[in-house]
Structure 1
Amino acid sequence: MSVGHINKIITPPVKIDPINQPVQGDQKTAEKGEVNFGQVLADAVKQIDSLQKEADDKITGLVLGEGVSTHTAMMALEKADIAFQLMNQVRSKIVRAYEEIMRTQV
Structure 2
Amino acid sequence: MRKIATVFAALAFGFVAATPANAAVHSQCGKYICVMTAHHNRFVQDITVRTKDGLPGTLRSYWGNFHSPKVNAASHRWEVGYEQAQSKLVCGGLERDGRSIEDGICVTI
Q: TM-score range by the shorter chain?
A: under 0.3
Larger Rg: 1
Give the TM-score of the pair, scaled to structure 1.
0.21
Q: Which has the higher helix share?
A: 1
Give the TM-score of the pair, scaled to structure 2.
0.20
